């Protein structure tokens, strides 16, 4: 494979195959139904084939296309089981793999960032990538001082490819929108667009990673590799051994998945309070269980800077909602911009609408599952549900957009893991403003 396809016309043509293919298969499906095949069989076949094509194209293109696919993949648990089954493996594959770039391109980027004598910086450098992702790939190496290191190298032409993708990806969102009810793909795409410029400069990612590494240094539960060197297109950091959460989702025991889910939840909460940063790329490929049973965390290209920690209003509103204060909850949501001043909204209807999101914190331990997440999406999207119209009266302030996306993605991962977690305990420990009293005797 060559470098990322850089000409906009090439990448646009590849992306265009998805809606065109979907349209062709839809016409074929109509023909099959007219020929007597059951509608549900034809629909399932159409969904599976379209999904396979979509994620194959996204993976081949890498760049913004693959990053969009990764953002979709963490919501896989929300899909109805009969639709999720045929292409769950394709979604998971996008979380931590992609075709590699040529060795000549790898060496060229290393020479540009580390100098012509870059080989002298290493005792050993493995030309075969250990992992590939959306805008870069990782190589295993041994640094000159003997440390095992991960060398993350950005694909040549990534910037041009990203901009092209983000202009064309709306075609894909029209195809994918019907698969994940309750998830608005437009805001996901907007968020990716806003953060791409930061992610392209690996020096910013290196700074964020080292901030996390220092904040969690010698922690008994979490491990963030220290950065050795950071350049615009190359990051050298300590090597992290471990089993990715994506593997535990597929093959882990219940005990392993429970342990991983608890650590994952606590890290997402603890990052803002300890590092002043929220890790904003929550898909399972970025987290792994290390040999000493800690949660190892990688890929800090997407972060939200929260120097004062998580906004205390979130914890306060959670506490009010759990205590049943419908009027106070509505007032608090108005004060923070989640409900605009001119919107007429019944407080009790609001509280009932939000109940599925509060339920995991009403008990000491809660088991996230695909079935539970599907029920939440049904609650949000089925017009036959009581208080369905409440969703259209809520507003998401811009400063909460990324927090909302990370928490939504995190819940998706917890539901994939099927983990039982002590969420109430984690909220009290890490979320400012939350004061949830102990339950039981």
User: For residue 357, with 0-12 CB atoms within 10 Å meaning exposed, 13-18 middle and 19 or more buried, which class applies?
Assistant: middle
The answer, yes or no, to whether residue 280 has pLDDT greater than 70, is: yes
- Residue environment code for 254-266, b if the CB has 16+ CB neighbours within 10 A, otherwise e: eebbbbbbbbbbb
Tell me what the mean pLDDT of segment 342-363 comes to.
93
Instruction: Give backbone dihedrals phi and psi of 381, rounded to 5 degrees, phi first.
Output: -110, -15
Indicate if 403 and 417 belong to the same structural domain.
yes
What's the pTM? 0.77
Indicate if 26 and 120 belong to the same structural domain.
no
Q: What was the pLDDT predicted at 61?
A: 47
> Cβ distance 154 to 234 under 8 Å?
yes
Handedness of CA 349, 79, 64, 304 (dihedral sign): positive
How many residues make up the chain in this entry? 441
Indicate if 252 and 390 belong to the same structural domain.
yes
Tell me what the mean pLDDT of segment 156-183 comes to.
58
Q: What was the pLDDT predicted at 21?
A: 42
Please indicate whether residue 400 or residue 292 has the higher confidence score (pLDDT): 292
Indicate if 269 and 351 belong to the same structural domain.
yes
Residues whose CB is less than 8 angstroms from the CB of residue 245 and which lie 6 or more positions away in sequence, other chains included: 260, 264, 284, 285, 287, 288, 289, 413, 417
Confidence of residue 287 (pLDDT cuts 50, 70, 90): very high
> pLDDT tens digit string along 230-242?
999 999 999 999 9
Residues whose CB is less than 8 angstroms from the CB of residue 350 and which lie 6 or more positions away in sequence, other chains included: 326, 329, 330, 333, 339, 387, 390
> Cβ distance 153 to 106 under 8 Å?
yes
Query: Which residue, chain included where needed, has tokens 């910013």?
Result: 204
Indicate if 411 and 431 belong to the same structural domain.
yes
Query: Which residue, chain included where needed, has tokens 């095949």?
Result: 37
d(CA 117, CA 57): 37
Indicate if 253 and 293 belong to the same structural domain.
yes
Task: Let me know if residue 164 belongs to a domain.
Answer: no
Report the greatest alpha carbon distance in the chain. 69
Q: What was the pLDDT predicted at 5?
A: 44
Tell me what the mean pLDDT of segment 258-266 comes to.
97
The alpha carbon of 439 is separated from its chain's Cα centroid by a whole number of angstroms, namely 32
- Give the range of the structural domain holding residue 125, as residue numbers without chain letter: 103-158+197-238
CA-wise closest residue to 219 among 146, 301, 292, 304: 292
Indicate if 152 and 184 belong to the same structural domain.
no
The beta strand positions in 212-357, using DSSP E, are 222-223, 227-230, 234-238, 243-244, 277-279, 287-289, 295-297, 303-305
Task: Let me know if residue 297 belongs to a domain.
Answer: yes
Q: What was the pLDDT predicted at 187?
A: 62
Task: Let me know if residue 407 belongs to a domain.
Answer: yes
> pLDDT tens digit string along 333-342?
999 999 989 8
The answer, yes or no, to whether residue 44 has pLDDT greater than 50, is: no
The answer, yes or no, to whether residue 109 has pLDDT greater than 70, is: yes
Task: Let me know if residue 359 belongs to a domain.
Answer: yes
Indicate if 332 and 234 belong to the same structural domain.
no
Task: Let me know if residue 98 belongs to a domain.
Answer: no
Question: Taking the CA atoms of the chain, what radius of gyration do you get in angstroms?
Answer: 23
Q: Which residue, 215, 238, 261, sits at the end of a domain?
A: 238
Indicate if 406 and 267 belong to the same structural domain.
yes
Tell me what the mean pLDDT of segment 342-369 comes to.
94
Task: Let me know if residue 163 belongs to a domain.
Answer: no
**What is the residue-averaged pLDDT of the chain?**
79
d(CA 426, CA 360): 12
- Whichever domain contains 231, its CATH number is 3.30.200.20
Indicate if 259 and 322 belong to the same structural domain.
yes
> pLDDT tens digit string along 360-414?
999 999 999 988 988 888 888 777 878 888 888 888 887 888 898 889 889 989 9
Q: Which of 259-268, 353-362, 399-408 is predicted with the least confidence, judged by mean pLDDT?
A: 399-408
Indicate if 184 and 228 belong to the same structural domain.
no
Task: Let me know if residue 3 belongs to a domain.
Answer: no
Handedness of CA 125, 246, 288, 204 (dihedral sign): positive
Share of the chain above pLDDT 70, in %: 68
Domain count, the chain: 3
Q: What was the pLDDT predicted at 376?
A: 87
> pLDDT tens digit string along 86-102?
445 555 554 444 567 88
The answer, yes or no, to whether residue 155 has pLDDT greater than 90, is: no
Indicate if 211 and 312 belong to the same structural domain.
no
Task: Let me know if residue 302 belongs to a domain.
Answer: yes
């Amino acid at each position: 494979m060559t470098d990322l396809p850089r000409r906009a016309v090439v990448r646009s043509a590849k992306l265009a195959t998805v809606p065109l293919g979907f349209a062709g298969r839809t016409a074929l499906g109509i023909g099959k139904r007219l020929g007597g095949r059951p509608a549900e069989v034809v629909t399932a076949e159409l969904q599976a084939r379209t999904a396979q094509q979509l994620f194959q194209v996204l993976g081949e293109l890498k760049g913004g296309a693959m990053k969009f696919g990764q953002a979709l993949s963490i919501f896989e648990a929300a899909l109805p089981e009969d639709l999720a089954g045929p292409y769950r493996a394709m979604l998971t594959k996008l979380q931590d793999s992609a075709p590699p770039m040529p060795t000549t391109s790898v060496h060229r980027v290393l020479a540009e960032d580390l100098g012509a004598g870059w080989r002298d910086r290493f005792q050993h450098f493995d030309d075969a990538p250990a992992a590939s992702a959306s805008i870069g790939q990782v190589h295993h190496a041994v640094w000159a001082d003997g440390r095992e290191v991960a060398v993350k190298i950005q694909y040549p032409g990534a910037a041009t490819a990203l901009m092209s993708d983000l202009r064309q990806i709306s075609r894909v969102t029209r195809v994918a929108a019907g698969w994940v009810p309750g998830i608005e793909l437009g805001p996901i795409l907007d968020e990716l667009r806003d953060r791409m410029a930061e992610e392209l400069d690996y020096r910013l990612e290196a700074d964020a990673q080292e901030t996390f590494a220092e904040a969690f240094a010698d922690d008994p539960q979490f491990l963030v590799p220290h950065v050795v060197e950071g350049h615009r297109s190359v990051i050298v950091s300590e090597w992290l051994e471990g089993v990715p959460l994506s593997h535990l989702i597929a093959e882990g025991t219940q005990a392993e998945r429970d342990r991983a889910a608890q650590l994952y939840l606590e890290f997402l909460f603890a990052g803002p309070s300890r590092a002043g940063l929220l890790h904003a790329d929550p898909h399972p490929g970025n987290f792994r269980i290390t040999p000493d049973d800690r949660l190892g965390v990688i890929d800090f290209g997407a972060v939200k800077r929260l120097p004062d920690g998580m906004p205390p209003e979130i914890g306060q509103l959670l506490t009010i909602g759990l205590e049943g204060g419908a009027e106070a909850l509505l007032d608090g949501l108005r004060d923070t911009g989640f409900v605009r001043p001119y919107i007429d909204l019944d407080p009790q209807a609001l509280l009932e609408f939000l109940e599925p999101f509060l339920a995991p914190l009403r008990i000491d331990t809660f088991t996230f599952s695909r079935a539970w997440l599907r029920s939440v999406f049904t609650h949000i999207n089925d017009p036959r549900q009581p208080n369905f119209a409440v969703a259209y009266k809520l507003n998401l302030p811009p400063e909460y957009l990324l927090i909302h996306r990370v928490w939504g993605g995190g819940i998706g991962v917890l539901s994939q893991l099927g983990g039982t977690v002590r969420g109430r305990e984690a909220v009290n420990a890490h979320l400012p403003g939350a004061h949830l009293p102990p339950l039981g005797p």
